[in-house]
Structure 1
Amino acid sequence: MQSAVTVLGLGPMGRCLARAFLDAGLSVTVWNRTPGRDRELVERGAFGAASADGAVAASPLTVICVVNYDASDAVLRTEPVTRALKGRTLVNLSADTPGRARDTGDWAERHGIRYLDGAIMTPTTTIGTPASVYIHSGPEDLYAEHRAVLEALGGTHTHLGEDVGRAAAYDIALLDVFWTAMAGYAHAVAIARAEGISARELAPFAQGIATILPPLFEEMAAEFDDGGFSGEGNPLTSGLSTMTHVVHASQEHGIDAGVMRAIEATARRTVELGHGTDGYIRVAEVLGRRA
């Protein structure tokens, strides 16, 4: 296994990545646009580079993790850094859209940079532990070459395919699940409080609802991929009625029901298109239709 890696970007996640590499015994070079953030890492044995291109030149593999691709472009697409990256491998663990990932892949290819895209699917506290989850996409042979170093970060690593935008596509889809669920929970807490129920009182029951979801995800995935859309036992018309209840209860307490109104409107449109006896996952098919 190669013994050196560079980390660009020392925000909360970048610092955790660098620590994990250090803990695994690798030679780690770090750089951050804002000076001073490398102090703790340098004290632990990392090399603090004075410039981004100097950091890149120190290792065959560079990992960048910043807030988005605007931020990573500002670092990578400067002449000194682009030149230093030529012939080396860049792994971008910043978060952005699949289109931005593919654009960066095209840029890397034009400049002779070996490129892998990826995403971190778990919080900073999991980095370096078995609980962390990473997804990667890009050339499979390149991933295989650097897999041992990446696995020094701990947890599970999955290569999702040669399409460099595929990891970002998974990331966006899974963030969609996460944030809509978080929005639903926040709205539920608001309604519960208006009815005199504390968040702590609601939480165990909310957790019970959450345990229903994993088998439903699997069942609905099969229905969607197979085109079955069975609504036996819970047709969309029944679900639509309960969505309306949530909207009405929100209105009674003056609580913003914008999120549920959007969900209700999409379900109603699906029913109006003649799919009222189908299961809820039919909504995904309707959402994906091009006008």
Structure 2
Amino acid sequence: MNSSVNSTKNTENTKVTVVGLGPMGRAMAAAYLDAGYEVTVWNRSAGKDAELVARGARSVADIAAAVAASPLVVLSLIDVEAMYGTLGDTDLTGRVLANLSSDLPDKARAAARWAEERGASYLTGGVNVPPTGIGQEGSSIFISGPRAVYDEHRTALDLLAATDYRGADPGYAQLYYQLNMILFWTAYTGWYQAVAVARANGLTASDILPYAGYTADTMRGFYTGSAALVDADDHRGEEERLTMCAASVEHILHTAADSGVDTTILAAHAELYRRGVDAGFGAESSSRLIGLLAAEAA
């Protein structure tokens, strides 16, 4: 390959279009500008690109021009439906769509088929950090889709956050991401619940923060200790028993109720633990609850 072809390819590899300029999209476009990329931006509503344009980004009038501007089109939208509405019948031939918007695994798979039918390659991404984490060390993004496409554009994607490739199935990046979100949102809601009870008893969020941090840190040990046992379907109650756990959940439920705080979330937890005991698993590990949850999902 001659030098002029190499030069053209290198130039193309430093072109990127960012579609969707909410806080996350703006952070992504800024990271590319910081890295010296030729950045084209587009947003459905006007006015969100001013700062980026001032820094050297190119703003275009319509989505067709935005897609045509770069071989890699990074999408930062609310969900897959927003992608359909945004791209519409735009010519996608030869483009790579890296959709870093949150959605369901099956919707990611359908989106990949939709893109491929229109001549584009498709990568799914799940961003594991808020906008402030983009471009920062320790940040990560789940990516899935065709390996060759990922390899070609990995350098550009790694500029946003270290990519964790989860395989060719376009739904897998979203599956891993949503699993993380299950952990995140239940824990964060638990923080709100604890703060509500604390405030009802004259304490502040700052008062309980050190203990919340300690509990969050210890959770890694619980996950690590139980993963191999759960995978082996080993639910012996050697370290903890479901009856003990159920009693503890009842105690937090009634503490919240006595404090005059809403107990909807805690009541749901308590009911699950009660069902585990009623099913005869009281002497076994609380990991037996996974079977009850799986049965409900079947």
TM-score, length basis structure 2: 0.93
Matched, 1:133 2:144: no
> 1: distance between equivalents of 2:124 and 2:251?
43
Q: Which residue of 2 aligns with 1:91?
A: 98
Contact 2:97 2:121 in 1 (8 A): yes
Letter in 2 for 1:210: A
Matches for 1:1-291 after TM superposition, within 5 Å: 1=10, 2-76=13-87, 78-79=88-89, 81=90, 83=91, 85-153=92-160, 155-289=161-295
Q: Map Cα deviations across residues 20-61 of structure 1 (whole Å, 9 max, x no partner).
A: 011111111100001121111111111101111100001111
Counterparts of 1:233 and 1:3, CA distance in 2: 54
1:112-158 Cα distance to aligned partner (Å, 9 max, x none) = 210000011001111112132111001111100110111122x3211
What does the per-residue CA deviation read over 1:49-85, in whole Å, with 9 as the maximum and x for residues that have no partner? 1111100001111000011222122112x11x2x2x1
Structure 2 counterpart SS, 1:157: strand
Distance 2:288 2:145 in 1: 32
SS at match of 1:288: helix
Instruction: Give how far 1:274 is off.
Output: 2.0
Q: 2:214 and 2:157 mapped to 1: Cα distance?
A: 36
Instruction: Give the Cα–Cα distance (whole angstroms) in 1 for the partners of residues 236 and 18 of structure 2.
Output: 49
The one-character-per-residue Cα deviations of 1:163-187 (angstroms, maximum 9, x if unpaired) are 1000111111111111110111111
Structure 1 stretch displaced more, 186-195 or 30-39: 186-195
SS of residue paired to 2:255: helix
> Deviation at 1:244?
0.5
Q: Distance in 1 between matches of 2:58 and 2:202?
A: 55
Consecutive unaligned residues in structure 1, runs of 5 or more: none
Residue type of the alignment partner of 1:28 = V
Moved more, 14-23 or 273-282: 273-282
- Partner of 2:18, secondary structure, is strand
Cα deviation for residue 281 of structure 1 reads: 2.2
Report if the CA contact (8 A) 2:72-2:97 is conserved: yes
| CA displacement at 1:205 relative to structure 2 | 1.2
- 3-state secondary structure, aligned to 2:159: helix
1:162: Cα distance to partner?
Answer: 0.8
Count of residues in Structure 1 that have an aligned counterpart in Structure 2: 286
Give the TM-score normalised by the residue count of structure 1: 0.95
Equivalent-residue separation in structure 1 for 2:63 and 2:218 (angstroms): 48
Please give the alpha-carbon distance, in whole angstroms, between the structure 2 residues aligned to 1:194 and 1:42: 48
Partner SS for 2:203 = coil
Contact 2:79 2:103 in 1 (8 A): yes
| Alpha carbons 2:200, 2:260 under 8 Å: kept | no
Q: Which whole-Å CA distance do the structure 2 matches of 1:141 and 1:226 have between them?
A: 35
